[in-house]
Structure 1
Amino acid sequence: MVELKYIYATRAAEGTIKADPAQESVLPELERIRQELAAPPPKRGFFGRSPKPVPIKGLYLWGGVGRGKSYLMDLFVTHVGVPKRRVHFHAFMQEIHAGMTEARKRGVDDALAPVADKLVAELRLLAFDEMQITDITDAMIVGRLFERLFEGGVVIVTTSNRHPDELYKDGLNRSLFLPFIETIKDQLVVWELTSPTDYRQDRLEGMQVYFHPADAAARASVDDLWHEMTQTPRARANITEAQQKMQQRGVGLANDEGLTLKVKGREVHLPRFRAGVARVSFWDLCGVPLGPADYLAVAEAVRVLILEDVPRLGISNFNEAKRFVTLVDTLYEAGTRLVVTAADAPERLYVEGSGAFEFERTASRLREMQSVEWAAQG
């Protein structure tokens, strides 16, 4: 079994990645988990009973966005040979809620128990990308869920932008959540990835991020950006020849992971989501009744938002235009990168109607968000 450090070094030598000392320092910890998972299970006891699995400490890898946390986790998961699953944390919690709903329909008293038991029966390794707790319901569930997973011998590796002590910060009834934080610090090795480089941000620096008109040429340019920002070296190394041909034609989007966010009982769906980058149409986010809280959830969940097919705005789509203004303001304040295809330049998107004057600020922000200086500040 080739160690992860040698796989990483080979990719660096080939030029598919740039060697980063901060990333390299994490590899021994990931290799430790990998080797312990690969060890044969303990032999049955005298009466034929299987002993409980030896507890294996997982990893909580946290740090700034774009530092390579997801890449390292994917490198690790790809080279682990046990029943495993890699999933975005938001998507995972949606599945847990759906499973609990089904259990309640069957009259199960503890709806979480069968959901957790199924995971324990099916998995040895569970890898989460971008753990964050923003919902009171999730906060109440996740502690009990993880406790059952740990008891069942499931090893957890997760990435996050926050230290465990910062999870669900200032949340409702946070005192009830604190024992879970202590469980995380007890069951997982907490490791900060301190690389000074934001690799995802580097991919956008110097690139055009606002395209008009929203024609075939603009779409082709955005296809290239999407491919560059979401096609990781790990994925390039594992996709089939047929998938490579699809991607070369700009239609290889079958593996995109959608993301559904829960906001105050509502759901905000991003049809395409991968590696912290979301790709949606104007109508996905502005053509439905969403508000500031929804857009804030989007800004917190994604690093880059690709928004396509923004039309000319005015009286005929006044409500949609107001939502677009709110969306841009939210992304601007959050420092979220925005890639846009639109019917016209920012100053010519909204030229008539009662909202035209107010839109001047939005147009100015759209211009500013295209600059390298704003990207660096954000």
Structure 2
Amino acid sequence: MADMVTAEAGGSVLAARYVARMAVGDLTPDSGQARVVAALAALEQRIAARRLARKTSALGWLFARREDTVPRVRGLYIHGAVGRGKTMLVDLFYECVAVRKRKRRAHFHEFMADVHARIFQVRADMKTGKIKDGDPIALVAAALYEEAWLLCFDEFHVTDIADAMILGRLFEKLFDLGVVIVATSNVAPQDLYKGGLNRALFLPFIGMIEEHMEVVRIDSPTDYRMEKLGGARIWYVPAAYESMADVDREMDKVWHRIAGIDGGAPATLVSAGRTIPVPRAGGGAARFSFHDLCGVPLGASDYLRLARAYHTLVIDHIPRLDQDRRNEAKRFITLIDELYEKGVKLVASAEAEPETLYTGTEGAEAFEWARTVSRLHEMRSEEYIARPHGRGDSEASGDTTGLVET
């Protein structure tokens, strides 16, 4: 398998790192992933050639902002079932590709939330005369291009008619400017916005994707999410071990199974204009202490941001909560509600089982805790672990909070 990846991907940094991770046992040989690695490695090299063409052009300094002076690069649309490693591979590509500044990695829903906010602001500025009349979508596309000419999206799906109506015009402008797009999705392009209102108006956008992006299906037979979490302990308590130090060691083992041998890296999320530090993120998962999430003034919109950004959360050291810590209990209840609704997987260490974790008897939290206990138990089931991320019990909402920045 390593030879196949190396042979197909030449001198790619991404391919070399993928092979290295297989060599140390961090990744399992997978023919479906190997095909996607080869496609991403080829894109990596096309992007490198484009950057070289810009640098070596005799008039490169003069045409530095003119994309017609360098070769256009087709992006990549990767689709396949959940848990096959799509996010991990695009994360690896994003880390390895020879673009240092003008690149952006975002959850697709959050990218569209940002686009809607920008369009709203441009229209407001036009009304006040701050900006001359024009096409708001074209102006937003130009601003996005100035910030990044390589866009990497996770969980590309369309359920909102407002998004559907904007996408064609927006992406046409982005592609015309020379923006390169890499996206992951659970569905093929032909199935985007399937059954949506006025879908016929959306079909030209599908053709645009197929023209400007190579479409690759990941045919991996293994659901790695189930392999990593299926059958594993999800809720760790000291009573099952000799000490809390033993619990911490077990949590570290689970985290490395999810995030990789290197344990990921710090990251940030932006929610409603403020930054949420993420102590460790990797493999589409994030790790926090209980205090990081519930000991600080975060709210439902912040927890929704987390739920959309990560398919798994690992939370350390959930304490017993009494009446004096009802604010923390309330935040934890809200956090679990958002994770549950979006199908986020949870691994946690706590001082006790859910039933006895909260001892308060007054206020709404005392009544709401019963729902939290029920959800925590369901989130430990294989049926829950097999649920897709991002939709939970219902279709993704039209929430427009924040923007993922990693």
Q: Distance in 2 between matches of 1:62 and 1:321?
A: 38
**1:256 matched to 2:267:** yes
Deviation (angstroms), 1:192: 1.6
**1:279-329 CA deviation, whole Å, 9 max, x = no partner?**
5658958987749xx9888656532134564754779849965983x8657
Matches within 5 A, 1:79-90: 79-82=96-99, 84-89=102-107, 90=109
Match of 2:23 in 1: 13
Q: Distance in 1 between matches of 2:291 and 2:304?
A: 16
Report the 3-state secondary structure (helix = DSSP H, G, I; strand = E; otherwise coil) of the residue aligned with 2:217: strand
TM-score normalised by the chain length of structure 2: 0.65
For residue 66 of structure 1, the aligned residue among 83, 86, 103 is 83
Match of 1:107 in 2: 131
Q: Distance in 2 between matches of 1:165 and 1:373?
A: 28
Residues 284 and 11 from structure 1, CA distance in 2 versus in 1: closer, same or farther, beyond 3 angstroms?
A: closer
Between stretches 76-85 and 356-365, larger displacement belongs to 356-365
**1:150-177 CA deviation, whole Å, 9 max, x = no partner?**
1112221111223234434555665544
For residue 74 of structure 2, the aligned residue among 57, 63, 69 is 57
Q: Distance in 1 between matches of 2:276 and 2:236?
A: 21
Q: Distance in 2 between matches of 1:192 and 1:41?
A: 30
Q: Distance in 2 between matches of 1:136 and 1:282?
A: 39
Deviation (angstroms), 1:55: 3.3
Deviation (angstroms), 1:123: 4.3
Structure of higher RCO (CA pairs closer than 8 Å, 6+ residues apart): 2
Report the 3-state secondary structure (helix = DSSP H, G, I; strand = E; otherwise coil) of the residue aligned with 2:229: coil
For residue 150 of structure 1, the aligned residue among 175, 178, 192 is 175
Matches within 5 A, 1:187-202: 187-202=212-227
One-letter identity of the residue aligned with 2:138: A
**1:340 matched to 2:348:** yes
Match of 1:162 in 2: 187
Residues 274 and 76 from structure 1, CA distance in 2 versus in 1: closer, same or farther, beyond 3 angstroms?
A: closer
Q: Distance in 2 between matches of 1:188 and 1:154?
A: 11
Report the 3-state secondary structure (helix = DSSP H, G, I; strand = E; otherwise coil) of the residue aligned with 1:256: strand
Residues 270 and 200 from structure 1, CA distance in 2 versus in 1: closer, same or farther, beyond 3 angstroms?
A: farther
Residues 377 and 124 from structure 1, CA distance in 2 versus in 1: closer, same or farther, beyond 3 angstroms?
A: closer
**1:2 matched to 2:19:** no
TM-score normalised by the chain length of structure 1: 0.69
Q: Distance in 1 between matches of 2:270 and 2:208?
A: 27
CA RMSD in angstroms comes to: 4.7
For residue 210 of structure 2, the aligned residue among 161, 185, 189 is 185
Q: Distance in 2 between matches of 1:57 and 1:29?
A: 11
Match of 1:229 in 2: 258
Report the 3-state secondary structure (helix = DSSP H, G, I; strand = E; otherwise coil) of the residue aligned with 2:53: coil
Asked if the contact 1:23–1:68 (Cα under 8 Å) also holds between the matched residues in 2, the reply is: yes
Deviation (angstroms), 1:366: 2.7
Q: Distance in 2 between matches of 1:198 and 1:80?
A: 26
Asked if the contact 1:369–1:375 (Cα under 8 Å) also holds between the matched residues in 2, the reply is: yes
Match of 2:35 in 1: 25
Deviation (angstroms), 1:98: 5.4
User: Identity of counterpart residues, as a percentage?
Assistant: 38
Q: After the TM superposition, which parts of structure 1 deviate over 6 Å for at least 4 consecutive aligned residues? A: 42-45, 266-270, 285-289, 294-298, 313-316, 353-358
**1:36 matched to 2:32:** no
Asked if the contact 2:151–2:179 (Cα under 8 Å) also holds between the matched residues in 1, the reply is: yes
One-letter identity of the residue aligned with 1:348: T
Residues 196 and 333 from structure 1, CA distance in 2 versus in 1: closer, same or farther, beyond 3 angstroms?
A: farther
Match of 2:229 in 1: 204
Asked if the contact 1:62–1:192 (Cα under 8 Å) also holds between the matched residues in 2, the reply is: yes
Q: Distance in 2 between matches of 1:365 and 1:186?
A: 44
Report the 3-state secondary structure (helix = DSSP H, G, I; strand = E; otherwise coil) of the residue aligned with 1:41: helix
Deviation (angstroms), 1:194: 1.9
Report the 3-state secondary structure (helix = DSSP H, G, I; strand = E; otherwise coil) of the residue aligned with 1:113: helix
Match of 2:391 in 1: none
**1:302 matched to 2:302:** no
One-letter identity of the residue aligned with 1:13: A
**1:363 matched to 2:373:** yes
Deviation (angstroms), 1:197: 1.6
Between stretches 182-191 and 96-105, larger displacement belongs to 96-105
One-letter identity of the residue aligned with 2:38: P
Between stretches 123-132 and 1-10, larger displacement belongs to 1-10
Q: Distance in 2 between matches of 1:329 and 1:122?
A: 35
Residues 259 and 288 from structure 1, CA distance in 2 versus in 1: closer, same or farther, beyond 3 angstroms?
A: closer
Unaligned runs of 5+ in 1: 237-246, 261-265
Residues 68 and 101 from structure 1, CA distance in 2 versus in 1: closer, same or farther, beyond 3 angstroms?
A: same
Deviation (angstroms), 1:22: 0.4
